[in-house]
Amino acid sequence: MFWAWGLVALLVALGGSPGEASAEAWPPPLPSAPWRATHPTVRGLSPAQPFRMDAVMKLTQALSPAVVQVEAILKKGSSQGSGFFLGPEGYLVTNNHVMSSATHARLTFSDGRTRSARLVARDPVTDFALLYAEARPGEQFDWLPLGDSDQVRVGQWAAALGAPLRFGNTVTVGVVSSVRRRGSRPRRPNWMKSYIQFDTAINPGSSGGVLVNMGGQVIGVVTAMRKDAQGLGFAVPVNRLKRMLPRMMGGYDVERATLGVAVQSTDEALARSLGLKSPTGALLRDVDLGGPADKAGLLAGDVIVRYDGQAIADHADLSWLVATSRVPEPVDVVVVRAREKLTVTVEPKLKSRWHVSSRRGGADRIPPGGVGVTGADAEVVRAMGFDGLPGGVLVYVVAPGSVAYRAGVRPGMWVVQVGDALVATPARFYQAVNESLARDGAVRVRVYNGEREARWMAWEAPAGD
């Protein structure tokens, strides 16, 4: 079994605690670039070069200062993992399941320094969390260059850097075992079930760390291991992180798009019958009437082999690219139909929109009482582990120091009831809250946390209301 993911709160929190970053310093400034592809201290090393001890030593010396132990500060205890910096400004990445429901973290560097960090944005489905570290005046952070995971090949050498079991500055070396390994997480959608598998030793606490090639470039974000086996580690390809970073840093809503199709991969027999040279592409099993694909003229039996300029190896490739498309920007799609290639233009439509960033969630946008909620579609509910529970709304922001925050309300909680009223929509939630405040001067809510535990919480009307 893979690791349990813990609480995967959908939306970013603005909450704080005494001694953390002040509200006036938030949100952090945008970096000069979301990421860098080259690093000044690892020149002369080739990403695909064979294993050499001197190369590993050079990599370790150059890259370890940019990898940190991440201790997510929870209401009860902490969650521990790893993380790495994207640039000198202070942005760093870890796994969303490492942060759990936390909004702040403590970072420990390889030289023993500690810094505080605050959550900027998170996405539960891709399992990425973006943090911003508090720098001292004039301080800049070491960082890692991001490579191209599409160029990773089975058998090439790779190194994992992280802080397993709280042992910081840990480096292990191995080879890439598979570049398209299908995961078995039941709550992951199909387009997130393709990982880089590697035999480099990892342990609990390695999550959020990096898998790098011998050129010192990040090729994957370590996310899971098999507890019932040895040498089976899994990393999310770094190109998926690169696709998400501009939105997470810029404060845009994360949108999941759809073409309105059902797809499957091809096998050798299907490939021959379709006129393909090899089993590749995404075969359309069905096309929704009136959907984007139907409007573009796509038909059941078409095989999509390129999408937005990128080759499609199987249905998971297509699903990932479609899901993360910008809406409603048109996209060129190359299909094979009757053994001939055709190019059509399709406009994906919005399937769901999730608010993941604090940058556009300032206090002036938080409803009275300090709690902001949103609806969630079935995919989000499943990813968060709330499927099968009563209908409700998702807490996406809690104002720092607000009465709701002091009562224990946190982003990522699932609210199903306010007083005696069931709340299945944001409008009903706000109506019930206002009615309770007007009638009783207090609000009582029933919530579920990431462990699916129900509890009642209550807060009184803010002073002066």
| β-strand pairing of 210-213 with 194-198 | unpaired
- Check if CATH label 2.30.42.10 holds for domain 255-352: yes
> What is the C-alpha separation between 136 and 217, in angstroms, rounded?
27
pLDDT in tens, 260-274: 999 999 999 999 999
Confidence at residue 24, expressed as pLDDT on a 0 to 100 scale = 37
> What is the C-alpha separation between 190 and 222, in angstroms, rounded?
19
The structural architecture, per CATH, of the domain 23-250 is Beta Barrel (2.40)
Token pair 């539960």: residue: 124
| pLDDT tens, per residue, the chain with 465 residues | 222 223 233 333 333 332 333 333 566 777 777 778 777 666 667 676 666 777 788 888 889 999 999 999 887 777 889 999 999 989 999 998 888 778 889 999 999 999 999 888 887 777 889 999 988 888 999 999 998 998 899 988 899 998 877 777 788 888 998 887 665 443 444 445 578 988 877 777 788 899 999 888 999 999 866 665 566 788 889 988 888 887 777 655 566 788 999 999 999 999 999 999 999 999 999 999 999 999 999 999 999 999 999 899 888 889 888 888 877 789 999 999 999 999 999 999 887 665 555 444 333 344 556 787 877 767 667 767 788 888 898 887 676 677 888 888 887 789 999 999 999 888 889 889 988 888 888 899 999 987 788 999 998 887 655
For residue 383, the one-letter residue type is A
Tokens of 110: 């390889």
| Burial category of 186 from C-beta neighbours within 10 Å (exposed 0-12, middle 13-18, buried 19 and up) | exposed
Q: Which residues partner with 226 through β-bridges?
A: none
Confidence at residue 183, expressed as pLDDT on a 0 to 100 scale = 57
* Correct CATH for 362-460 of 2.30.42.10, 3.40.710.10, 3.80.30.20, 2.170.150.70: 2.30.42.10
Confidence at residue 418, expressed as pLDDT on a 0 to 100 scale = 94
CATH code 2.40.10.120 region(s) in the chain = 23-250
Confidence at residue 410, expressed as pLDDT on a 0 to 100 scale = 80
Q: Which of 294, 220, 178, 216 is nearest to 38 (CA)?
A: 216
> What is the C-alpha separation between 57 and 47, in angstroms, rounded?
15
> What is the C-alpha separation between 91 and 63, in angstroms, rounded?
16
| 8 A C-beta contact, residue 128 and residue 244 | yes
Strand locations in 77-209 (E): 78-85, 91-95, 104-108, 114-123, 128-133, 157-162, 170-182, 194-198
For residue 444, the one-letter residue type is R
Q: Mind telling me the catalytic residues? A: 97, 127, 207
CATH code 2.30.42.10 region(s) in the chain = 255-352, 362-460
Confidence at residue 47, expressed as pLDDT on a 0 to 100 scale = 72
| 8 A C-beta contact, residue 5 and residue 187 | yes
Confidence at residue 44, expressed as pLDDT on a 0 to 100 scale = 65
Confidence at residue 321, expressed as pLDDT on a 0 to 100 scale = 87
Helix, strand or coil, per DSSP, at residue 216: coil
Q: Which of 102, 301, 77, 338 is nearest to 208 (CA)?
A: 102
Confidence at residue 25, expressed as pLDDT on a 0 to 100 scale = 54
Confidence at residue 312, expressed as pLDDT on a 0 to 100 scale = 93
CA angle (214, 219, 223) in 5-degree steps? 120
> What is the C-alpha separation between 314 and 303, in angstroms, rounded?
10
Helix and strand numbers, DSSP H then E, in the chain: 9, 26
Q: Which of 80, 84, 114 is nearest to 97 (CA)?
A: 80
- Beta carbons within 10 angstroms of residue 226's beta carbon: 15
